Structure formats: structure tokens, C-alpha cells
Amino acid sequence: MSVLQQEFKVKYPSGFENAVHLTKIELEQQVLLMAALKMFELGKLSSGKAAELAGMSRVDFLETCGRYQVSIFNYPDEEMETELRKDLETLERLGL
């Protein structure tokens, strides 16, 4: 299944990636990760969608939340129920 992707440009000062000791690709990845973390923290994205934006699995994203001190317990009640149901279904499929 092919997933359509959109693209947008971010302007930053010339040489900025060197100032933060990152390659251009690493800087792009960091910007996407920071955006995903903040939007998740603000409740704008689910952990699954935030992980997708950051280009990682949901489990990796949740672990990354811990490294950046972003609480993973900021779900609205109805979303919490949906996420828990998905997690239980996954555990059942794995036989755990």
C-alpha cells in the first residue's frame, strides 16, 4: 500500500546545521521529531500519528517521549479507550 506524502519547506539560516552539529538530513529528522513530540504533548496528534511524522514506530516514539520528558499520559478519555483497545488487540495477536 502506497502512502501519499506532502512536503513543506522550512527556512533556516545558512550554516545552521553546522552550528547545531548536525548534517542537513539529521537536522530535518530532528525538526520532524521535535514537531511530533510537541504536537503529541499538546494533544494535537495521537502517538501513532506522531510516530508516523517522526518516521519511527509507535514503540520507539513512546520511548523517545521518555528521553525528552514528554508525558505519554495526555490522552483525552475517548482516545485513551481507543488506544488501549488497540494495544490489547495487538497483545492478543502476539499471544501475550
Is the distance from CB of 33 to CB of 61 less than 8 angstroms? no
- Say whether pLDDT at 76 is over 80: no
Average pLDDT, the chain: 89
pLDDT of 3 strictly over 90: no
Note the pLDDT of residue 66: 94
Nearest to 38 by CA among 68, 12, 1: 68
Indicate the pTM of the whole model: 0.71
Check pLDDT > 80 for residue 2. no
